[in-house]
Amino acid sequence: MAAGVVGSSCRVECVARAVDTWYSYGRGYAVKGVSLEVYEGDRVVVMGTNGAGKTTLLKLLAGMLKPSKGRVYLCGYDTREVDESLTARFIGYVPQNPWLLVFNPRVIDEIAFTAKNFGLDPAEAEASILDVATRLDIVHILNRSPYTLSEGEIRRVVLASAIVHKPKLLLLDEPTAGLDNVLKDRLIETIKSLSRDYGVALVLATHDVEILPLLRDFRLVVLRDGAVAFEGSVGEALENPSVFYDSGLQPPVGVRISEKLGAYIDFYGVDPVANLLLSRKKLRDRICR
Ligand SMILES: Nc1ncnc2c1ncn2[C@@H]1O[C@H](COP(=O)(O)OP(=O)(O)O)[C@@H](O)[C@H]1O
Ligand SMILES: [Mg+2]
């Protein structure tokens, strides 16, 4: 452990800071001049179309990729100047494909591996494993092979592994991919309560606009072609659909319906639209046309 680092305590309030960060895989830039600060307790959603640079930005914030230009600081450490093993303890990272992280024979070994890797003593590790497993409702599958689990279960297991060492920053890449709507809602609620109770800052990357209404209290960063196209609150964006259209995204279906209703009111007036609303079949026929 390097001098000055005690457990996973951060030496500054800013957990992650990207300063005019650029990243190239070899040709052109996947991330272009992104500046972003994530403080203790912050919750950020990074949104953008496929290829907008969300995963690359997450990997930069995790210290897994080093900026080609600019700087990324994790808990005050410049990721270009320190070894990833130093900054890894501050981070919980869940890739888009959770199966990539799984290699132990039982779920409990999977979670214990991270706990041991980050130096939790056995008693501390046991208490922490039990706590995350209870919160994520996976106690009953701790002895199962990860390879026998459903998509919803494996996502909760990988989340448990990512948070068991109480990191400062939890980075989740497309956490709701492959889940049905009920599981999505449940997972988002769990992620929110975990991050709140564990005091871990959260950065969640997604192209799934439909989860935004569940993330109204999050800060929103929209990436377009590697650069920040919008930074504000999720609530602000839901009030202003051009934030989505300008970056090649569709707003959530609820916003689109209210836009259509607004257009109908502008065109027909309030009363005819109110009559339409009273006749739900007619309304459905018109909106779905
Ligand atoms: N390993 C890689 N090698 C080369 N190019 C990559 C690699 N990963 C991503 N890219 C490119 O970087 C850009 C951003 O990709 P990515 O960060 O995965 O975006 P997103 O997560 O928003 O879909 C894309 O043009 C993609 O093709
Ligand atoms: Mg991605």
Which residues line ion ligand 2, judged by CB < 5 Å? 54-55
Contact 51 CB / ligand 1 (< 6 Å): yes
All domains in the chain, ordered by first residue: 14-104+163-245 (3.40.50.300), 252-289 (no CATH)
Say how far apart CA 253 and CA 259 lie, in whole Å.
Answer: 10
Per-residue pLDDT at 280 exceeds 50? yes
What pLDDT, on the 0 to 100 scale, is given for residue 8?
57
Q: Which among 13, 45, 73, 37 is positioned nearest to 212, based on CA atoms?
A: 45
Helix or strand or coil: residue 127? helix
Per-residue pLDDT at 16 exceeds 50? yes
Choose between 262 and 231: higher pLDDT: 231
Contact 50 CB / ligand 1 (< 6 Å): yes
Question: What is the pLDDT of the chain when averaged over all its residues?
Answer: 90
| Ligand 1 atom at minimum distance from 207 CA | 22
Say how far apart CA 65 and CA 103 lie, in whole Å.
Answer: 23
Say how far apart CA 103 and CA 147 lie, in whole Å.
Answer: 9
Choose between 140 and 179: higher pLDDT: 140
pLDDT digits (tens, 9 = 90+) for 225-245: 999 999 999 999 999 999 999
Query: Does an H or E element contain 199, and which?
Result: none
Which residue's CA is minimally distant from atom 24 of ligand 1? 51
Contact 27 CB / ligand 1 (< 6 Å): no
Q: Which among 102, 40, 88, 38 is positioned nearest to 231, based on CA atoms?
A: 38
Contact 56 CB / ligand 1 (< 6 Å): yes
pLDDT digits (tens, 9 = 90+) for 99-118: 888 889 999 999 999 888 88
pLDDT digits (tens, 9 = 90+) for 167-179: 999 999 999 988 8
What pLDDT, on the 0 to 100 scale, is given for residue 13?
84
Per-residue pLDDT at 123 exceeds 60? yes
What pLDDT, on the 0 to 100 scale, is given for residue 264?
77
What pLDDT, on the 0 to 100 scale, is given for residue 260?
76
Compute, in angstroms, the gap from residue 67 CA to the centroid of ligand 1. 14
Which residue's CA is minimally distant from atom 7 of ligand 1? 25
